[in-house]
């Protein structure tokens, strides 16, 4: 097994690294701290992320793997992988529109019409249209196929009624990819359709839900007699479950946790533990090296997924292994940071006297959301058991 990238790919890496070095906001370069996951989706932080996204887009560095006619660079899958790795290692601000570019974009590439791709993809990349994901409902999360939001046909339109919940970024969104029930008499997986809904349509109400981080990241959405043109159906009517699974496979990807392990090591050098510097404690170093090994193993899982895609295959149910591994490891890292911080762990993000600006407390709270969003750990374990290992259903 050769883990090295080709000379051409390394040249590409250097080109992007140099661009990042020259263009990252000054503050980031001095203090490359990222609130990586479920980053603040409101207020000034959102505006900063949006500005950074637009700067990257203007230089042609957004969704580089997308074909040129849709606003990408037509880069290779490997270059996209390297690009994502460099962004994380540079501590760059999180981009916006991940639900669009990461989920609905690849889904449209697979299932959409040419007209849909040309209409939606370029504005998605430029962040001129922000997208949200309307899947979960109050009674349908893990058991998503039980969803009740109804769409009835009326001439050239579907008329949508129902409620969605936990919708990230709905308060910024111009568009939503929405799962609706179009045939209530069919078995639950068979009567679902996948619609692209203009969030400015009459009849949509968005109400904020505040996360325990204090951020207004996600929302409830109410649909009352919302008219959606039939040309906004993706795939065939009542085949939306298959379309939705494509989006979900792209959602369950791994994040690179190696930079956070480095930050943890730096924290251990900063704080004291049982009266001396935490880093001097062999037990602390042992724990951090365990985390580092796991973070590297997750990177190799990512490379395995890359190999799969290079062979022309979609992410597949193995992406559940990555999602489970990184979200659980992230939570354990954050918990250990709380132990190292001791009483300081009680100080919130940006509170006076907080160590490292309180970023660990924020991440600790956000880490809980990560093990739920995109499918809980229990659900990932069931998928791995049944669809990867082929174990009998319990």
Ligand X SMILES: Cc1cc2nc3c(=O)[nH]c(=O)nc-3n(C[C@H](O)[C@H](O)[C@H](O)COP(=O)(O)OP(=O)(O)OC[C@H]3O[C@@H](n4cnc5c(N)ncnc54)[C@H](O)[C@@H]3O)c2cc1C
29, two tokens = 């370069």
The C-alpha atoms of residue 23 and residue 316 are separated, in whole angstroms, by: 35
Toward ligand X, which CB reaches closer, 75 or 366? 366
Please tell me whether residue 218 binds ligand X under the rule CB under 6 A.
Answer: yes
- Burial tier of 28 (Cβ tally within 10 Å: 0-12, 13-18, 19+): middle
Provide, rounded to whole angstroms, the least separation between the CB of residue 164 and ligand X: 6
Please tell me whether residue 385 binds ligand X under the rule CB under 6 A.
Answer: no
Work out which of 316, 373, 386, 388 binds ligand X, going by CB under 6 A. 373
The C-alpha atoms of residue 95 and residue 41 are separated, in whole angstroms, by: 11
Contact 114, 145 (CB under 8 A): no
Please tell me whether residue 61 binds ligand X under the rule CB under 6 A.
Answer: no
Catalytic, 41? Answer no
Provide, rounded to whole angstroms, the least separation between the CB of residue 174 and ligand X: 15
Please tell me whether residue 369 binds ligand X under the rule CB under 6 A.
Answer: yes
Work out which of 72, 240, 315, 375 binds ligand X, going by CB under 6 A. 375
Work out which of 214, 378, 387, 391 binds ligand X, going by CB under 6 A. 378
The C-alpha atoms of residue 98 and residue 177 are separated, in whole angstroms, by: 13
Please tell me whether residue 209 binds ligand X under the rule CB under 6 A.
Answer: no
141, two tokens = 């999360």
Q: Closest-CB residue for ligand X?
A: 141
Provide, rounded to whole angstroms, the least separation between the CB of residue 165 and ligand X: 7
Provide, rounded to whole angstroms, the least separation between the CB of residue 95 and ligand X: 16
Please tell me whether residue 135 binds ligand X under the rule CB under 6 A.
Answer: yes
208, two tokens = 């904020």
Per the listing, tokens 């249209």 go with: 129
Please give the residues from 21 up to 60 whose contact with ligand X meets the rule CB under 6 A: 38
Work out which of 107, 167, 327, 361 binds ligand X, going by CB under 6 A. 167
Work out which of 6, 31, 113, 142 binds ligand X, going by CB under 6 A. 142
- Burial tier of 189 (Cβ tally within 10 Å: 0-12, 13-18, 19+): middle
Which contiguous run of DSSP H or E holds residue 46? helix 43-58
Please tell me whether residue 330 binds ligand X under the rule CB under 6 A.
Answer: no
Contacts of 130 (CB under 8 A, 6+ apart): 96, 97, 100, 169, 172, 173, 174, 175
80, two tokens = 């996209």
Give catalytic residues, as residue numbers: 251
Binding residues for ligand X, rule: CB under 6 A, are 38, 132-136, 141-142, 166-168, 218, 369, 372-373, 375-376, 378-379, 382
């Amino acid at each position: 097994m050769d883990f090295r990238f080709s000379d051409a790919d390394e040249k590409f890496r250097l080109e992007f690294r140099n661009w990042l070095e020259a263009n990252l906001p000054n503050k980031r370069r001095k203090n490359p701290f990222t609130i990586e996951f479920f980053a603040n989706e409101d207020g000034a932080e959102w505006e900063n992320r949006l500005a950074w996204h637009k700067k990257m887009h203007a230089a042609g560095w957004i969704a580089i793997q997308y074909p040129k006619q849709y606003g990408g660079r037509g880069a290779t899958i490997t270059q996209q992988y390297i690009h994502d790795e460099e962004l994380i290692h540079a501590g760059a601000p999180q981009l916006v529109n991940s639900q669009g570019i990461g989920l609905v974009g690849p889904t449209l590439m697979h299932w959409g019409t040419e007209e849909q791709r040309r209409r939606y993809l370029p504005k998605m990349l430029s962040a001129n249209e922000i997208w949200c994901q309307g899947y979960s409902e109050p009674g349908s999360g893990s058991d998503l196929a039980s969803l009740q939001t109804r769409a009835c046909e009326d001439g050239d339109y579907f008329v949508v009624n129902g409620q969605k919940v936990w919708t990230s970024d709905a308060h910024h969104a111009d568009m939503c990819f929405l799962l609706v029930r179009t045939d209530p008499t069919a078995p639950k997986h068979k009567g679902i359709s996948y619609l692209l809904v203009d969030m400015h349509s009459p009849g949509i109400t968005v109400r904020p839900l505040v996360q325990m981080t204090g951020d207004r990241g996600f929302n409830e959405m109410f649909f009352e007699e919302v008219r959606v043109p039939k040309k906004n159906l993706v795939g065939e009517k009542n085949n939306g479950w298959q379309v939705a699974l494509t989006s979900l496979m792209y959602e369950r990807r791994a994040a690179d946790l190696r930079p956070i392990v480095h930050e943890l090591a730096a924290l251990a050098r900063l704080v004291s533990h049982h009266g001396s510097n935490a880093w001097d404690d062999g037990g602390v170093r042992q724990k951090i090296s365990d985390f580092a090994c796991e973070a590297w193993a997750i990177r190799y899982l990512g490379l395995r997924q890359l190999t799969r895609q290079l062979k022309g295959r979609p992410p597949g149910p193995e992406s559940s292994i990555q999602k489970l591994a990184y979200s659980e490891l992230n939570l354990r890292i954050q918990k250990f940071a709380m132990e190292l911080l001791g009483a300081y762990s009680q100080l919130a993000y940006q509170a006076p006297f907080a160590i490292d600006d309180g970023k660990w407390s924020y991440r600790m709270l956000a880490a809980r959301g990560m093990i739920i969003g995109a499918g809980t750990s229990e659900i990932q374990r069931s998928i791995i058991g049944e669809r990867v290992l082929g174990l009998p259903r319990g």
